[in-house]
Amino acid sequence: MSKLIPAIGLVFLICSAAVHATDVINQDKKAYAIKVQGEGKLSISNHTVKSGSSLYGLCNYSFCTFEIPGHKISATKDAKLKIRDGKFTK
């Protein structure tokens, strides 16, 4: 039992990182390729968000830059970004 409690704590610690991450909600009827750059150039990843869908947990850094063709925005790891009319909004 004494080893079980630290193991449970570790699981909660690992899972809580995903709770604090940036979400992107696409409200357009078009799919977008999103480039996510974490804290300067520490991490660069590419994602595709389909029309009317969402992506969760895209940035776990303190801040990230999100880019779609024609628009770029910076956000913190707790932000909820929306894509509307081909642009990001917070």
DSSP output for the chain: -TTHHHHHHHHHHHHHHHHSS-EEEE-SSS-EEEEEEETTTTEEEEEEE-TT-EE-----SSEEEEEETTEEEEEETT-EEEEETTEEE-
Q: Stretch 27-40: mean pLDDT, rounded?
A: 93
Q: Please list the residues that pair with 13 across neighbouring strands.
A: none
* Prediction pTM value: 0.75
Could you tell me the CATH number of the domain that includes residue 59? 2.60.40
How many domains does the chain divide into? 1
Mean pLDDT along residues 52-63: 92
Residue 77, domain extent: 4-89
